[in-house]
Amino acid sequence: MLPQSPAHFSRLQTPHSGYHWDSSARRFFEGWYYRVTLPDCGQTFAFMYSIEDPIGGQPYSGGAAQILGPNDEYLCRTFPDVTTFWARKHALGLGHWGKRREGRGERGEETKLKTPGSLQPEQFTEYIQEGYQATATWHQGSLREPSGAAAKWEYQIQPVYGWGDANRLQQSTAGWLSSLQVFEPGWQILMAHGLATGWIEWNNKRYDFENAPAYSEKNWGGAFPQKWFWLNCNSFEGEPDLALTAGGGRRGVLWWMESVAMIGIHYRGTFYEFAPWNAQVHWEIHPWGNWRMWAETSQFTVELTGTTDLPGTALRAPTADGLVFACRDTMLGQITLRLHDRQRNMTLIQAHSDRGGLETGGAPWDDVWKSAD
């Protein structure tokens, strides 16, 4: 079996860590995002996994693995066979097998992998030529495009923050209503901050790292957002214990659409949340190149900006029309964050990073998207 989460990490497991598909034939997708940032070279690897209509036999049934690598380079492989995908129902754990090789047992007999599931790391290396497996504390995989572009990776993860105060019950990112099939898609930050140790090979170049900032999130549902934006960073200059995730979108709520956004900050053991149920959240997002958000509660205010002069990289995302190019990302964005305590009239955080994740997705993006102030 794959390495399990140690007992003292179990308190950091967030709601919605398990797989959400109910085995029905309704339109459904689930997606996972793992990221590790390498401070020594300033580069980031973002791994994106998805499964659509896992019942099989549907026009969009299948899985995919995408990687946004150094200098926003891109690699993608699809896994049409949904029967070789696996995921745990009550904890974070998933994988998809592509090409496999047969092996020999201890007595020389031929062995075959039958039921997809977690493997010991050495078993995965021996049998799985293409595929991936991931939990809260382990991430491993191998992909190769027909062009020859390739990636392999193995690293352990030590979770530091889930989604909430470090010593309290972890929270649903989208509130308790995300447990119901009311708001779709659902969104959950699985690990706002962690430390990764291991290696990644990218086109024959090996990157070794120890205690590098790591992050993971997921989304799922039977409906798809019309339009969205996202800012994320846990590699700030001089602030190793600071993690930011912010985003917003237009999503379906029963028979209408709503625009919502939130900002979440983990800093020195404390979670600062700015969400529709406890704060006023505002945004001004350009089609590309400029992200601005600000929010206030009775005690705190936050200001957040993201900018980039880079063109970004087009990524695929599950949509009503299947997995298609639907968003643009960079992992080399400039992010500035300021958190102010209104009651004590003091700035708690003033931070900057040039290793931020920035994204816009969906449509239309004909103009600047401003919140209704």
DSSP 298-357: SSEEEEEEEE--S--EEEEEEETTEEEEEEEEEEEEEEEEEEEETTTTEEEEEEEEEEEE
Class of residue 149 by CB neighbours under 10 A (exposed 0-12, middle 13-18, buried 19+): middle
Polymer length in residues for the chain: 373
Whole-number Cα distances in Å, 266 to 123, 191, 240, 247, 271: 36, 11, 11, 15, 5
* 195-209, 245-259, 324-338: range with lowest mean pLDDT: 245-259
How far out from the chain centre does Cα 26 lie?
24
In degrees, rounded to 5, the angle at the alpha carbon of residue 272 between the alpha carbons of residues 270 and 276 is: 150
Pairwise CA distance, residues 336 & 358, whole Å: 12
For residue 306, is pLDDT > 70? yes
CB atoms within 10 A of CB 110: 8
Residue type, 106: E
Q: What is the pLDDT of residue 105?
A: 54
Mean pLDDT of the chain: 92
In degrees, rounded to 5, the angle at the alpha carbon of residue 85 between the alpha carbons of residues 83 and 90 is: 120
Q: What is the pLDDT of residue 224?
A: 83
Pairwise CA distance, residues 122 & 255, whole Å: 49
Q: What is the pLDDT of residue 288?
A: 98
* 289: three-class secondary structure by DSSP: coil
Q: What is the pLDDT of residue 364?
A: 93
Q: What is the pLDDT of residue 184?
A: 72
Proportion of the chain in helix, strand, coil states, percent, rounded to 5:
5, 55, 35
* 286: three-class secondary structure by DSSP: coil
Phi, psi of 129 (to 5 degrees): -80, -35
For residue 276, is pLDDT > 80? yes
pLDDT digits (tens, 9 = 90+) for 17-76: 999 999 999 999 999 999 999 989 999 999 999 999 999 999 999 999 999 999 999 999
Pairwise CA distance, residues 333 & 312, whole Å: 9
Residue type, 73: E
Cα radius of gyration rounded to whole Å, the chain: 20
Q: What percent of the chain has pLDDT over 70?
A: 91
For residue 340, is pLDDT > 70? yes
Q: What is the pLDDT of residue 2?
A: 55
- DSSP-derived secondary structure letter, 121: H
* 362: three-class secondary structure by DSSP: strand
For residue 373, is pLDDT > 80? no
Q: What is the pLDDT of residue 267?
A: 98
Q: How large is the average pLDDT for residues 344-350?
A: 98
Q: How large is the average pLDDT for residues 186-212?
A: 97
Instruction: Write down the number of H helices and E strands in the chain.
Output: 1, 25
pTM, whole model, 2 decimals?
0.94
List residues bridging with 260 in a β-sheet. Answer: 249
Q: What is the pLDDT of residue 10?
A: 73
Residue 75: closest CA among 139, 177, 152, 174:
152
Whether the Cβ atoms of residue 188 and residue 215 lie closer than 8 Å to each other: no
